[in-house]
Structures are given as C-alpha cells and as structure tokens.
Amino acid sequence: MYLLALLTLFGSAFAVPLTASVERLDDLAALYVLPRDTIPTFYDVSLFLNPDNEEYFTGKVSIRILPYVTTNQIVIHAMEMTINSIEAYSDRNPTVNLFANYTLATDDTHLLRIQLNETMTILQPYTINIDYVGHYAENMFGIYVSTYGSVGQTQ
C-alpha cells in the first residue's frame, strides 16, 4: 500500500536547466528516461489514511535532490493531489526555507514545478518537503478504496 502510493503519486523528480524556455524544456525532459545517478531519492514518506474517509488522505514526503545543472526549479510528476505546503532546504543551511512558489499542471503531464528563491548550487544536496492531500484513484492505478461487505450489508 505504501509503496504503491509512493510510486503512483510521485514520479521522477529532476532539476531542469535555467534557460529562456524552461517550460518547454522540462516538458521535454519529462519524456526522457533520466540517467540513474541524476534521479533524486524519495525518502521518508508518511501517509495518514483514515478508513472512514473515502475521499482523501494526507501525506508528507521528503525528496532529496542533487542538482547537476544550474537552476532554481525542480520538476516532479505528482498525480491526484492537492499541495498543502512545500519547503526547500539546502543541507548546508538546513534552517533557511528557500521555497518561493510552485505550479501544478492541470493537464495530463501532472508536472509539479517548484521554484526556489535562489539558484541551487551544483552537487549540493537539497531536501524538499511536501505536505499534500491525496485523492483515491477511481481507476485502481493509485491508492484505491476497497469496501468489504458481509452478506446482507451494502458494499
């Protein structure tokens, strides 16, 4: 359940080069399989599932990023979720929140673009914390609600 949720809610995350046409570049980048050593690690995922709530659940995820390019933007695939809050910290200065703003694509690219208020230092580790509300998928690709009923009960 936990692994399933992680894999379906968040896809690969990556930093994109800072250029005049970032929007287009990161959409293109999303189409490519990234080299393994540039894929950030997702770690420390917590989900808060309330069996009485079939509409949504809440979750927190921390993502570790090692930038290989000069950029202030991190792009993540994020599906079926509403963002509550985002924080971004450099390992070098773990008390200063560098998060500036984000956009979450409403089309089927599901790209979450996170902007920091300053350019990341190449090969300097960063940690991104995301608090979100996840929505149970109706198509069984994400987390889904399964209702069990005994004979005589409605399902």
Ligand X SMILES: *[C@@H]1O[C@H](CO)[C@@H](O)[C@H](O)[C@H]1NC(C)=O
Write out the residues near ligand X by the rule CB under 6 A: 96-98, 100-101, 115, 117-118
**Minimum separation from the CB atom of position 82 to ligand X (A):** 18
CA distances 3 to 79, 133, 143, 145, Å, are 15, 17, 10, 16
**Minimum separation from the CB atom of position 113 to ligand X (A):** 10
**Minimum separation from the CB atom of position 14 to ligand X (A):** 18
**Minimum separation from the CB atom of position 30 to ligand X (A):** 20
**Minimum separation from the CB atom of position 67 to ligand X (A):** 15
Residue placing its CB nearer to ligand X in the complex, 78 or 98 = 98
Residue placing its CB nearer to ligand X in the complex, 103 or 109 = 103
Residue placing its CB nearer to ligand X in the complex, 70 or 117 = 117
Distance CA 128, CA 63 (A): 5
The contacts of residue 37 (CB under 8 Å, 6+ apart) are: none
Q: Do residues 67 and 120 touch, judged by C-beta distance below 8 A? A: yes
CB-closest chain residue to ligand X: 100
Residue placing its CB nearer to ligand X in the complex, 56 or 99 = 99
Q: Do residues 52 and 1 touch, judged by C-beta distance below 8 A? A: no
Residue placing its CB nearer to ligand X in the complex, 73 or 134 = 73
Distance CA 134, CA 5 (A): 9
Distance CA 142, CA 8 (A): 5
